[in-house]
Structure 1
């Protein structure tokens, strides 16, 4: 991707074999030469109808409005680090309550896959235990905004998680028409509502050590029925239907390191 002639040659070939987009990794710093390279890649890829996602990259600065083929940038301690670092796993919920207020408020954030493995190794046993609930992981697919949705799927996910979780990941939108901040405090909890078409998704996570009792004010879904994806008191994933009051108030319990999604 660094040399224009080779880059265009490669992009032409990729388009000819049916590739729709590229994920370009390992950018070195924010010097002017590197910043120009980002835009040159975006411009050339747009000529070939290829979408671009930047990984190992700097914070995006307006590219969503400048280039129609720009998808998103990592620029965050992303999901791959959950596999590599115990410290990152221990802070996953804490960091998740910061991203909507800080990193993701600037631009698209390519965090990586929603991970449902109980252990973040290929065998799904023995080490690198995931410290968040399934409800938390499903919530991040809505809480984090990026036009490419990713699911860290391994074969065991098809049998060791409830089918409704797999169905949720098949259907969750990748783009949103409206976003509304509902509640939260950086480092403690965060609740965001997003609308795709005429359907609302409300997602929240709890980074505190105690269960969190919320009374959400959701006038956009007042009087309607919604599906709640969350966790019981033992951290086991649940799905249940609930009716929103005419006032739009919805009580929700969120477990420690847990989360929920309300789907209209």
Structure 2
């Protein structure tokens, strides 16, 4: 292909919804329904050859005609688009996923491919409609050998009514604001609410594009996409802004999937928490049961402390220890060498002791060291017997950073090491492609002292993208971690059920010697990190939540309250019929401690949750052995 068709801008737009009709200047060219026929995406072209779409869920218009486009330095395909043809197919597959919230996932949707042309430029728009979700991406595989630079993505989401958005940026607090009053940006996924309407706008399969965020659009109740900006604040004022402005492609350009998921309830959004996995094509169809998830204990950077931490991890039925920043020197210095451990931190003895105790060792490496020595440290760490890595302070925003990260993640995956990517990087479903990527941060966890409101917003927002490393603190007799924990002890416990993370760090700031014979920490010996079945039972954003998860025949219930008293009653209809269970209930005792009690439960019993503000409850429901 010659340079003059170096690409395009692509519009999907949703315009005013009046008796389900398009304007006289538009012609409907395609319609796609979900398998249950309750979600509908409709496409049209106007006289200028611009392509539009709109989204309807349960007979309710969600997004009006709006545009989506990509503007480049090459030939523009904004206008003059004609439809050469289209193809529809049904996707209905089930695949095992032992690293998730459910042991198996059903990927059932209808797919539409629109074959578009504008002059001599050709491209496809791939659309999938799930029950409750719309996903679309743009595919151009004829760019040629010359470089095409992306200037902007013109995507808009013109909402059909007034919505409130739970705005956040990377590891910030959440700020509920009306879309029309949105200042600055909001990260993906973003959750929006209106009367009996809940929307999550997200993305999937972002490997080498750029991080996009939502900003206020050009119309009322409108949002559009903006490329990543790194904003530095000082005294609450913008000091500087760094934009990702050098986004380049050759040969082909495939955008991430843009997703819009809809529900009539807050807890219904959980149905889409694994949508990203369904939109990413795996490198292998092999079930990743060779990857070992587990709980992690962070050890101090001294030899004896690490050895003691290994013994504690074994006692607590943890699977890994984490050797965090500092084991090879100051992490941001180019003179610090991640192939060499500090003289007073004897890593070979630590790894040998861990192997003897059946505990894996995860090593932290900062982005500075990773960029310089990723190809050196991987075979070296494999030789040492290291089980995994934690990446620190990676660039999860720019195209350059994301492309590097994709290649680095694949290398770690190929070496068979588990991986946790820290700081502002968030998942887009790539664990399906690289199953050793068990966790990532991209969340305001206990390191940043979140409050109960934040804790009860997260399940309906950030966790819809996938797992997150919350770095749980948990009080003991020596340290109550009051600087980090602003909720009750039982809520801290319950959140290990509510929040999903296959590689979950539990006692983040804790020392092994400080946890002595507390009856409540017995809970952490049993709580899994991956599940066979998961349900959001009850809840509302920022008010409270109850999550039920099953591993084998044992159920776990986690409940957390926001800043006000919260609770509710529900039927235990997910328990087996004709089976008696013993429930161990861990709740707040009203004096800063944990009260443990046991009760008998059966199928369809009513279960009552009654929590004080900032409180919580964790329950293990085990079948009685006859």
For the criterion TM > 0.5, the same-fold answer is: yes
Flag the structure with higher helix content. Answer: 1
Shift of 1:99: 1.2
Moved over 6 A (4+): 2-5
Matched-pair contact (CA < 8 Å) for 1:189–1:204: yes
TM-score of the pair, normalised by structure 2: 0.38
**Contact in 2 for aligned 1:25/1:57 (Cα 8 Å):** no
Partner of 2:613: 256
Aligned residue for 2:520, secondary structure, equals helix
Say whether residues 1:195 and 2:195 are aligned partners: no
Report Cα offsets for 1:38-90 as digits up to 9, x if no partner: 211111112211111110132211112111111111011122112xxxxx4xx
Task: Look up the SS of the partner of 2:563 in the other structure.
Answer: coil
Given candidates 386, 395, 415, the residue that maps to 1:28 is: 395
Larger Rg: 2
Contact 2:472 2:492 in 1 (8 A): no
Q: Which of 175, 183, 200 is the equivalent residue of 2:530? A: 175
| 1:16 corresponding residue in structure 2 | 383
Q: Which residue of 2 aligns with 1:218?
A: 572
Distance 2:420 2:512 in 1: 26
Aligned to 1:247: 604
SS of the residue 1:40 aligns to: helix
Provide structure 1 residue ranges, at least 5 long, that are not aligned to the other structure: 83-87
Contact 1:177 1:197 in 2 (8 A): yes
Structure 2 counterparts to residues 79-94 of structure 1, below 5 A? 79-82=446-449, 88=450, 91=451, 93-94=452-453
Check 1:207–1:29 CA distance in 2 against 1; reply closer, same or farther (3 A cut): same
Instruction: Report the 3-state secondary structure (helix = DSSP H, G, I; strand = E; otherwise coil) of the residue aligned with 2:459.
Output: coil
What are the residue-to-residue correspondences of 1:1-264 with 2, within 5 Å? 6-82=373-449, 88=450, 91=451, 93-117=452-476, 124=479, 128=483, 130-152=485-507, 153-155=510-512, 157-159=514-516, 163-210=518-565, 212-221=566-575, 223-264=580-621
How many Å separate the matches in 2 of 1:74 and 1:129?
Answer: 17
1:127 CA drift (Å): 6.5
TM-score (norm 1): 0.85
Q: Considering fraction of residues, name the structure with more strand.
A: 2
Q: Which has the higher contact order (CA 8 A, sep 6+)?
A: 1
Aligned-partner Cα distance in 2 for 1:73–1:127 = 25
How many residue pairs match? The answer is 249
Deviation at 1:155, TM superposition (A): 4.5
* Alignment check: 8 A CA contact 1:221 1:248 kept: no
CA contact (8 A) 1:114 1:138 kept: no
Cα root mean square deviation, aligned: 2.3
Contact persistence 1:173–1:196 (CA under 8 A): yes
Conserved 8 A contact 2:537-2:547: yes
